[in-house]
Amino acid sequence: MSELRGRAFLAWLFIAIGWGATFPAMRVGVVTIPPFLLAGIRFGSAGLLLLAGALLAGARLPTRPRDWGTLALVGCLLLASGNGVVVWASQYVDSGSASIYVAAVALWSACFNALVPGGTTPFTWQLATGLGVGLLGTAILTGVTPRTLFHTDLRGPLALLGASASWSWGTIYLKRHPVAVGSGMAAALQMLIGGLALFLVATLRHEWPGLHPSQGALVALAYLVVFGSILGYTAWAYALRHASATVVGTYAYVNPVVAVLIGWLYLGEPLTPRKLVAMAVVIGAVVWIHKTVSGKR
């Protein structure tokens, strides 16, 4: 599919599926673990494990100060702001509405990629059409209406839009400022720095006394650490090195499809004709975007 071939496509497919399952995992975890603390434990633990693995494999820490600066900035933009805020906002926005705002990652990524010098994917009407159809399909899939989006606590929507923009900007920045270390080491340091920033926010918000994890929350946290962070984040970084941020960002449209299927398979939620049509629209939009980008290269 366009820029994504071989291992890069498999990496994209992994985050499209694996990150879709992180939404229900976060919803389970945040019930008994405060939001920023949950995100901090997730990325701090994953970063330590990934760093240990990278060092054992012979990887070296960055030697250039600018690489440390890039990894620190990206870790904060992607993980502390881009992910931690999503967990916090889940307290104020239902899951269907949240998925719409998070799916805006694909739109933000395409816009930033076109506007910031150095991009390889121009923002054409064909691309805009694909992005718009994908967002519409996500809205149909989740059953969210304009009334639902605009008649709700504004803290959630504004936070989610900011988090999506932060994640996309961090993605573009990393793409424009490559670091001289492998994907595993880069991901480990970003997660450690992002995790430390999240712990700081959790401390300032006095979240530590509220840490009373249930068994379900611990299972959800384990999934977030292993599949959402160690494997997922590494796969995302690998895909980003081999394709444009616009193409990689289309994973955000597939995530809600995965969440709906998980709800059908494991939670007994109905898989209605509307949802089937919406999933077809979303997948069609992703294929359209990938083919459009491929045709422009």
Which DSSP string do the residues of 229-246 spell out, in sequence order? IIIHHHHHHHHHHHS-HH
Angstrom distance (rounded) from CA 252 to CA 146: 20
Query: Is 217's pLDDT higher than 60?
Result: yes
pLDDT at position 135 is 74
Can you give the pLDDT at residue 278?
A: 77
- Which has the closest alpha carbon to 10: 277, 284, 238, 255? 238
- The structural domains of the chain, with segments of one domain joined by +, span 7-295
| CB distance 190 to 76 below 8 Å | no
Structure tokens that stand for 210 in this block: 């509220």
- Positive or negative CA dihedral for 33, 39, 40, 42? positive
Cα distance between residue 194 and residue 77, in whole Å:
8
Res 28: pLDDT: 85
CA distance 43 to 37: 10
Q: What pLDDT is attached to residue 22?
A: 86
The model's pLDDT over 8-58, given as tens digits with 9 standing for 90+, comes to: 999 999 999 998 888 788 888 988 999 999 999 999 999 999 999 999 999
- The Cα 181–Cα 201 span in angstroms is 28
pLDDT tens by residue, 241-267? 888 887 888 888 788 778 778 777 776
- Please give the radius of gyration of the chain, using alpha carbons only, rounded to the nearest integer: 18
Q: What is the pLDDT of residue 1?
A: 47
For residues 23 and 224, is the Cβ–Cβ distance under 8 A?
A: no
Q: What is the pLDDT of residue 103?
A: 74
34-45 burial by CB neighbour count: b if 16+ within 10 A, else e? bbbbbbbbbbbb
Provide the pLDDT confidence category of residue 94 given band limits of 50, 70 and 90.
low
pLDDT tens figures, 103-162: 778 778 877 887 777 766 677 777 778 778 877 777 776 666 666 656 656 677 778 878
What token pair was written down for 251?
A: 């994973």
Mean residue pLDDT of the chain comes to: 84
Helix (H, G, I), strand (E, B) or coil at 150: helix
Confidence at residue 97, expressed as pLDDT on a 0 to 100 scale:
61
pLDDT tens-digit map of 148-205: 656 656 677 778 878 988 998 999 999 899 999 988 899 999 999 999 999 999 999 9
What is the pLDDT at residue 24? 80
CA distance 219 to 31: 13
Q: What is the C-alpha to C-alpha distance for residues 1 and 272, in angstroms, rounded to an integer? A: 29
